[in-house]
Amino acid sequence: MIPARPVLWISNPDADFCFPVSDLFMIILAVESSCDETAAAVVRDGTLILSSVVASQIDIHHRYGGVVPELASRRHLEALVPVTEEALAAAGLNAQQLDAVAATRGPGLVGALLVGFSFAKAYAYTLGIPFYGVNHLEGHIASLFLKAEAPEFPFAALLVSGGHSSLYHVRGHTDSELMGQTRDDAAGEAFDKVSKMLGLGYPGGAKIGELAEKGNPEKISFPRVWLDKSQHEFSFSGLKTAVGRYIQTHEEYREEIPDIAAGFQEAVVEVLSGKLLFAAEVKKCRTVALVGGVAANRRLREKIREDAGKKGLAVHIPPVSLCGDNAAMIAAAAYHYLQKGCATDWDADVYSRHKMPLSP
């Protein structure tokens, strides 16, 4: 068990409050509830995971073919306290040994976000320690620093998930520039919708990824939607429609489902990889990174490593366990705001849509 230790004091010059900070290390408890995972984690100094607990809701939403917001919020209410208690116990800590508490502030499902955000804010207020509302997308980027070998700044990062497909130029822990994002469906959303078309169920990314390994990605060629190749935006709605039309016009498509899955997946990963490497070229970065739930896709990880290797670029991808939504990444992002003394106001609220800059 980590013992109690002496503290120093840090204050935000733009605020009228100050908080104690350890002179040895900083320990943050974070919770994540933006969608359908209830997670809590304890992280030391923004890099060392002392515990990470995730309670998945896949079994609940699988029957509906996607996340039902009201059900997700209710499940968060049930799971948040036991998940948080488990995270503290696994870390060998008690609440009095925490330096700060963090929670996902957005983007995400408003009802789900409110559960975790309100809980974490009250927890911090009761303990008299700072609270940090973290941008979920910044958390995904911070997950890169929870592994042994972290990337050097600056680097180009591709963030792909069920709700987001975005490119960032990351210049520092709290300094990221959004270069481009999807105009319509996110990559993960396209995976889910195509999976539903094929009768594979939810979550679509894992289902299609597994099935694609049994198929031939060259047998059925689906369109690569590059839009303007000189820009950094994505579009997957047309590709999803192309798969739907193929299914409608081929009566025997069920015999080709592995090939359809492989062809669709290849069309997605080729564009994602190409856009990431182009972003690195534009910003003259020698390092690229892949983060987000879709970063767990084996073929996407493989494709980016192949393409980046040909250009002599370093590649950083979190372990699969840190690709999906988790609270450790939220704690990692909050750490750097704790270092700056930038606590979130007590009257702050959640937000559903992506905002820039990435900050509390």
Identify whether 355 is part of a domain: no
Identify whether 188 is part of a domain: yes
Specify whether 289 is located in the same domain as 170: yes
230 confidence band (pLDDT: 50, 70, 90): confident
Identify whether 123 is part of a domain: yes
Residue that has been written with the tokens 């290797």 in this structure: 309
- Number of independent structural domains in the chain: 2
Put residue 349 in one of left, alpha, beta given phi > 0 → left and psi -120 to 50 → alpha.
beta
Identify whether 17 is part of a domain: yes
Specify whether 299 is located in the same domain as 172: yes
pLDDT for 16 = 39
Chain segment 159-210, per-residue pLDDT in tens: 999 889 999 999 999 999 999 999 999 999 999 999 999 999 888 889 999 9
Specify whether 98 is located in the same domain as 38: yes
Using alpha carbons only, give the angle 57, 64, 74 rounded to the nearest 5 degrees.
Answer: 45
- Where residue 23 sits, what CATH number does that domain have? 3.30.420.40
Question: Using CA atoms, how far apart are residues 4 and 22, in angstroms rounded to an integer?
Answer: 10
pLDDT for 354 = 63
Residue 10 in this model has a pLDDT that exceeds 80: no
Mean residue pLDDT across the chain: 90
Identify whether 229 is part of a domain: yes
Higher pLDDT, 11 or 194: 194
Specify whether 105 is located in the same domain as 244: no
15 confidence band (pLDDT: 50, 70, 90): very low
Chain segment 100-143, per-residue pLDDT in tens: 999 999 999 999 999 999 999 999 999 999 999 999 999 999 99
68 confidence band (pLDDT: 50, 70, 90): confident
Identify whether 360 is part of a domain: no
Share of the chain above pLDDT 70, in %: 91
Tokens of 222: 């689906």
Question: Using CA atoms, how far apart are residues 286 and 270, in angstroms rounded to an integer?
Answer: 20
Task: Give the 3-state DSSP-derived string for the chain, with helices as H, strands as E and coil as C.
Answer: CCCCCCEEEEECCCCCCEEEEECCCCEEEEEECCCCEEEEEEEECCCEEEEEEEEECHHHHHCCCCCCHHHHHHHHHHHHHHHHHHHHHHHCCCHHHCCEEEEEEECCCHHHHHHHHHHHHHHHHHHCCCEEEEEHHHHHHHHHHHCCCCCCCCEEEEEECCCCEEEEEEEECCEEEEEEEECCCCHHHHHHHHHHHCCCCCCHHHHHHHHHCCCCCCCCCCCCCCCCCCCCCECCHHHHHHHHHHHHHCCCHHHHHHHHHHHHHHHHHHHHHHHHHHHHHHHCCCEEEEECHHHHCHHHHHHHHHHHHHCCCEEECCCHHHCCCCCHHHHHHHHHHHHHCCCCCCCCCCCCCCCCCCCC
Specify whether 243 is located in the same domain as 328: no
Specify whether 170 is located in the same domain as 116: no
pTM, full prediction: 0.89
Specify whether 225 is located in the same domain as 309: yes
Specify whether 211 is located in the same domain as 290: yes
pLDDT for 358 = 55
Share of the chain above pLDDT 90, in %: 79
Of the candidates 146, 203, 127, the residue with the CA atom closest to the CA atom of residue 319: 146
Specify whether 129 is located in the same domain as 229: no
Chain segment 99-112, per-residue pLDDT in tens: 999 999 999 999 99
Residue 336 in this model has a pLDDT that exceeds 50: yes
Specify whether 230 is located in the same domain as 260: yes
Higher pLDDT, 340 or 66: 340
Identify whether 2 is part of a domain: no
264 lies in which domain range?
151-317
Specify whether 14 is located in the same domain as 129: yes
Specify whether 301 is located in the same domain as 236: yes
64 confidence band (pLDDT: 50, 70, 90): confident
pLDDT for 355 = 58
Identify whether 87 is part of a domain: yes
Residue 9 in this model has a pLDDT that exceeds 50: no
24 confidence band (pLDDT: 50, 70, 90): low
